[in-house]
Amino acid sequence: MDKRRVVITGLGAITPIGTGLDEYWNALKQGKSGIDYITKFDASAYPTKIDGEVKNFDPVDYIDKKEAKRMDRFTQFAVASTGMALKDASVDISKEDSDRVGIIIGTGVGGIETLETQFHVYYDRGPGKVSPFFIPMMICNMAAGQIAIIYGAKGINETTVSACASSTNAIGSAFRFIQNGEADVIITGGAEAAITPMSLAGFCSMKAMSTNNENPSEASRPFDANRDGFIMGEGSGILILEELSHAIKRGARIYAEIVGYGLTADAYHITAPAPEGEGMAKSMGNALKDAGITPDDVQYVNAHGTATDLNDKFETMAIKTVFRDHAYKLAISSTKSMTGHLLGAAGGIESIATILSICNGFVAPTINYKTPDPECDLDYVPNIGRKLDINYAMKNNFGFGGQNATLIFKKYTD
């Protein structure tokens, strides 16, 4: 049986640089930074005092007030951006075969804010005061569960947890399920709300984060010689994936097509990528093979680009391994330079950025690129975005534990 074609018909984004597609895309085009000083708690004792927070988000604008109180912030993000994506796609699940509508959401740490809050309740007031909603708010699958309950999707329901590759794996799995005929529509992407005292402390202890506190908007510097670590962000990116004939039958607007998915494991180290980006390269190669295209067919790579020393160096090496001479003809950008690193939700908002780049013929820049690194010598679209006709684009995300995931998006043609 021929594999079915899968297209993207709806998008919803909640990010540190804007909520909704228009705000998000305009900020990307302008090279706007969403990094500023932490306001969610007192960070004066931390070596990193900056983050990428979602601004002006009130869950009751999207969710019933009573229900919102029973959701962790990461679930609120996921539910709200799902509503945006469904509206954008003009999908009414009540008018669909709900058994053929699925949900696959990625998150790295789930309800860590709830975990920390309820631990303090337990420690200060005893076990009898812990909320009965503690577990249902904390567990990682609750974003997917709540979306299903609210919107009535009764098909495939999964949660992927693969660190910073989580939502990329979610999108890839959704692609596979539709491609193989097990669903017609899948709500997919990722959500994260991990800017908490304990989470920040943990990342700071690993010395993985930037300490450029004096210049928040310039602190996220992927591929720059002076990069000194990532900056945590929060938010959600949700995509509506749909089987092509199903989308055409209902007259849907189609953003792009998804045609390839690759994933590998480094089997090397709990945090560091394998030397020379070996696993990254295999993931990219697998995605190209799955798409049935050659490296020369790709015009743009939306990189993982965390602004950590090893990631940026090894991702560059991996791109060179896969694309060879064509690597120097690629436009490559890290939108984390603007949003910070959304951990498990990174692939969600960055896939949206990639898709919008294809649709608009425009590549967002890597901002804060000032000092070239001899080991990172490709075209990272420094500081100013540019027009580019894109037929195929690649999206990379890599996670702790050696998780590697790559997607290939294509300009849609009949």
Please state which of the four CATH numbers 3.40.47.10, 3.30.750.24, 1.10.357.10, 3.30.565.40 is assigned to the domain occupying 7-249: 3.40.47.10
Per residue in 81-110, is it b (16+ CB within 10 Å) or e — as a string? bbbbbbebbebebeebebebbbbbbbbbbb
Domains 7-249 and 262-401 share a fold: yes
Map out the domains of the chain as residue ranges.
Answer: 7-249, 262-401
Contact 100, 184 (CB under 8 A): yes
Write out the catalytic residue numbers.
164, 304, 341
CATH topology of domain 262-401: Peroxisomal Thiolase; Chain A, domain 1 (3.40.47)
- pLDDT tens readout for residues 125-159: 999 999 999 999 999 999 999 999 999 999 999 99
Residues in CB range of 37: below 8 A, 6 or more apart: 43, 49, 50, 213, 216
pLDDT of 30 reads 98
Taking 70 as the pLDDT cut, the residues of the chain under it are 1
What is the Cβ-side half-sphere exposure of residue 74, based on CA atoms within 13 angstroms?
35
Per-residue model confidence (pLDDT) at position 29: 98
pLDDT in tens, 390-405: 999 999 999 999 999 9
pLDDT for 1 equals 58
What is the C-alpha to C-alpha distance for residues 387 and 408, in angstroms, rounded to an integer?
20
